[in-house]
Amino acid sequence: MNTENVDILIIGAGPSGSVAAGYLQKQGSKIKVVEKQKFPRIVVGESLIPRVMDHFDEAGLFEALDSYGFEKKPGARFIRGKEICIFDFSNKFGEGWDWTWQIPRADFDKAMTDELQRKGVDIAFETEVTNVEFNGTNSVTTIKDKNGTVSQINAKFVIDCSGYGRVLPRILKLESPSKLDPHSAIFTHVKDVNRPDGVEGTQISFDIIETEVWLWVIPFSNGNTSVGIVGPTEYIDKLSVTGNTEEAIKNAIKLSDFYVKRFDKLSFEFDPIHLKNYSVAVSQFYGEGYALTGNSTEFLDPVFSSGVCFATESGILAAKLALKQINGEDVNWEKEYTEYMKYGIDVFTTYVKEWYTGNLQELFYHQPENPDVKRKICAVLAGYVWNKENTFVAKHHNIIKNMAYMIRENKMDS
Ligand code: FAD
């Protein structure tokens, strides 16, 4: 059997694996990426948030990605009936990027891996990791290519960026139930032939159908738009009696007064994809000789587009710490990796939960707007969830709940 030796093996070439690979390639490490699918491939996760730009930059991918002309995303709009709440990232609290992209992930992920390959990163596409065995920090990974040929990779460290493939969580039995309520989604792309001119046409928007149900509209620079519906699993299941995803998304579009005319009569670019009970979690983020990143660890909810950001934040950080360890330096994985990542995840978990309780929606639509509150929430939505100078980060556990309570009390008094 063919056997290769590398310092760091990366499983999966999504955003998490790509930024990890880009960073390690820049440092001159001996790495290999193993990716199960052939790119381009369809995957969800099309609305980015500004913090990811720091990661693409650090991974040496920003310039290449910028040259593709992906649609720029300067903020996001939340629609509730006649009420509109727009966040403009240039008005956020604190430092950080003011914009990002909204992207068809098939093209975006292909753009990243093309650039990595151009830089000399060894990526084995259409090759699946089937097993990993650890002996201390060293490991032997078994892979199988599209022809069925089996080979092995000896690595000093494995970064598992396999997303919902969840390679190491499955093998090492690290999967644990999510603390969030079961929610599901159905999405597809349309040729957006009714797209209005100007900002209205390209504006990324979330239309609130009910407190826990919302439609996403993500226009791309290629003329297509992603349309998706999210809600409690039972609600999404009832959108089609027969389980037909096309019927379900058509019914979902009809629920949106704002978008029904624009999308009602359009056909779909691919069969709508149903992602059932999408939230996942794990019991630990690392172990001897490995780290889990991105969706291989936790996925919360799409409502604030935090998925790719956590994938790249954890991908870069795991790469840095793995390299330190291989170079003989001490790494406190619990503190430097788990605690750091969990802090950000905890902040976003509060925002997701408070969105679905309706408390955060009270703050979004409260009039007159409080510019200070808005700037601070905007910084969270931009992904800057480690900036404890922001009271909407540092006091996230109570601040939304308390402010929503005060707003409701005032409404009752007036
Ligand atoms: P992925 O992008 O999934 O990449 C993992 C890769 O690993 C895949 O290419 C896969 O083929 C490969 N792989 C799997 N198994 C193996 C194996 N055995 N061997 C080798 N390779 C393997 N995030 C956002 O930021 N914005 C959004 O708007 C957004 N919307 C979402 C909507 C829904 C309904 C859902 C469910 C998620 C959404 N997300 C969103 C989350 C986003 O999709 C993920 O968080 C993100 O793609 C995770 O990136 P990743 O690199 O960890 O995994």
97-109 pLDDT, tens digit each: 999 999 999 999 9
Count of domains for the chain? 3
On whether residue 64 sits in a domain, the answer given is yes
Q: Whole-angstrom Cα distance, residue 370 to residue 365? A: 10
What is the residue-averaged pLDDT of the chain?
A: 97
63-75 pLDDT, tens digit each: 999 999 999 999 9
- The CATH number of the domain where 306 resides is what? 3.50.50.60
Q: Give the closest residue (by CA) to ligand 1 atom 6.
A: 12
Do 241 and 138 share a domain, yes or no? no
Q: Helix, strand or coil for residue 105?
A: helix
Q: Whole-angstrom Cα distance, residue 392 to residue 376? A: 6
Q: What local confidence, expressed as pLDDT, does residue 372 receive?
A: 97
Q: Provide the token pair at 146.
A: 């599209």
On whether residue 351 sits in a domain, the answer given is no
Q: What local confidence, expressed as pLDDT, does residue 19 receive?
A: 98
Confidence check: pLDDT of 411 > 90: no
Question: The domain containing residue 141 runs over which residues?
Answer: 3-72+96-176+280-343
Q: What local confidence, expressed as pLDDT, does residue 235 receive?
A: 97
Q: What local confidence, expressed as pLDDT, does residue 386 receive?
A: 98
Q: How confident is the model at residue 410 (pLDDT cuts 50, 70, 90)?
A: confident
Mean pLDDT in residue range 249-272: 97
Distance 294 CA to ligand 1 centre (A): 8
Do 156 and 285 share a domain, yes or no? yes
- The CATH number of the domain where 205 resides is what? 3.30.9.100
Query: Measured from the CB, is residue 165 less than 6 Å from ligand 1?
Result: yes
Do 305 and 158 share a domain, yes or no? yes
| Choice from 9, 33, 35 to test ligand 1 binding pocket (greatest atom count within 8 A of CB) | 35
Q: What local confidence, expressed as pLDDT, does residue 414 receive?
A: 62
Q: How confident is the model at residue 227 (pLDDT cuts 50, 70, 90)?
A: very high
Do 34 and 133 share a domain, yes or no? yes
Distance 14 CA to ligand 1 centre (A): 6
397-408 pLDDT, tens digit each: 999 999 999 999
18-31 pLDDT, tens digit each: 999 999 999 999 99
Q: Provide the token pair at 29.
A: 């490490």
Residues forming a β-bridge with 175? 282
On whether residue 311 sits in a domain, the answer given is yes
